[in-house]
Chains A and B, each alone.
Chain A
Amino acid sequence: MFGSQFVLSAAQINTLAADLAPLGQQPGVRLALLLDLSGQEIVYIDSYGGLLIPSIAALAAGDMMATQEVGRLLGGSRNCNLIIQEHEELMILIARLGDGLLLMLATERSVPLGWARLALKRTSTRILEVVGNTTLSLAAPAPAMAMDAEFETDFAAQLNSIW
């Protein structure tokens, strides 16, 4: 079961962004998005700009979880590894990485499916080298003073200033 603890250092984030970068250079790629199964976006390349990334991440995770459940109800007992959606104008692939990560690739229909699948596979391998293939855990230590005693007080004050 995927736990709710995923912490990445700045160096790890930079490495992951660099891993995704080649996908963004391919003509016809609209979005490459690394997220976790709980719907948290981690890094992404938004080629056109302005996409609603948090909403897309939540829906992509929901899509994978729902598809997994359909498989289970049909008698399957293993993970769903890849979803391929063919829309009239675009193609969406969502691949599972390890226990708790997903990699989403959205392309124009003109992009060959074979390339997209291969690109996902290669990128997935590189990403798993960064974050590991096991259940995600507290991977990076917190910078000093990041959440010290004053944080809770300041946070409460911030909430009261908004609502």
Chain B
Amino acid sequence: MFINWGLGELNLKIVYYGPALSGKTANLQYIYANTPANLRSEMVSLKTQQDRTLLFDFLQLEMGKVKDLKPKFKLYTVPGQVYYAASRRLILQGVDGVVFVADSQAGRKVDNVESWFTMEQHLIEMRYDITTFPIIVQFNKRDIPHSLPIAQMRQQFGFEESRRCFEASALRGDGVFETLKTAMTQVVAQVQQKI
């Protein structure tokens, strides 16, 4: 978070986290493609030759003026591949909220759970209180046949009933903005408590 009271700017950072190929970049691509050009930056993607995220994807969104303040959100993705653990930790620096993108396919259970626990581990190492820190969960790829039922997805992570999770198909855009808007709202609420 960086607040510039001179310009009335509220700069906030949201990181899309999750296992490889779960759809983090697809979320940002859909947001980029469906946001008015005057409200977004160009999308920056640092990819490998195999089109996988190497360091991060980046997109800035501006919300216009809200009660004399100008909220701006910097959206990042982390690389999902296991061997980019160091990169993921670096991207989480200074994060204000996380969108965890889980893969709904049956065979991805281990990857989902491992990614969740490494995310929690990184946040704890960075001295975030994960009991209050905004972490929004998205179950992506709900359009794929034989995707796991929601109850089983929740069971993977041991989520309490009170935790709200979003169903999505990032490629089609289903649930993408619902997830994003909730993340933004929770991050802003957190900032309100701090200042």
Which A positions have Cβ atoms within 8 angstroms of B? 1-14, 36-42, 52, 54-55, 58-59, 61-62, 65-66, 68-69, 73, 100, 138, 140, 142-143, 145-148, 150-152, 154-156, 158-160, 162-163
Contacts of A156 in B (CB 8 A): 181, 185
Nearest A residue (CB) for B184: A159
B125, chain A: closest CB distance, angstroms: 8
A38 touches B94 (CB 8 A): yes
A10 touches B5 (CB 8 A): yes
In the complex where A38-B94, A163-B177 touch, is A5 in contact with B69 (Cβ < 8 A)?
no
Q: How many residues of B contact A (CB 8 A)?
A: 54
Partner of B6, one of A13, A37, A68: A13
B33, chain A: closest CB distance, angstroms: 12
Contacts of B72 in A (CB 8 A): 54
B130 within 8 A of A: no
Contacts of A73 in B (CB 8 A): 86
Going nearest first, the 4 A-B pairs with the smallest beta carbon separation are A38-B94, A10-B6, A13-B6, A40-B2
A146 touches B66 (CB 8 A): no
B177, chain A: closest CB distance, angstroms: 4
Residue of B41, B93, B177, B191 most packed against chain A (CB within 10 A): B93
Nearest B residue (CB) for A157: B66
A110, chain B: closest CB distance, angstroms: 28
Contacts of B44 in A (CB 8 A): 55, 58-59
A55 touches B41 (CB 8 A): yes
A7 touches B5 (CB 8 A): yes
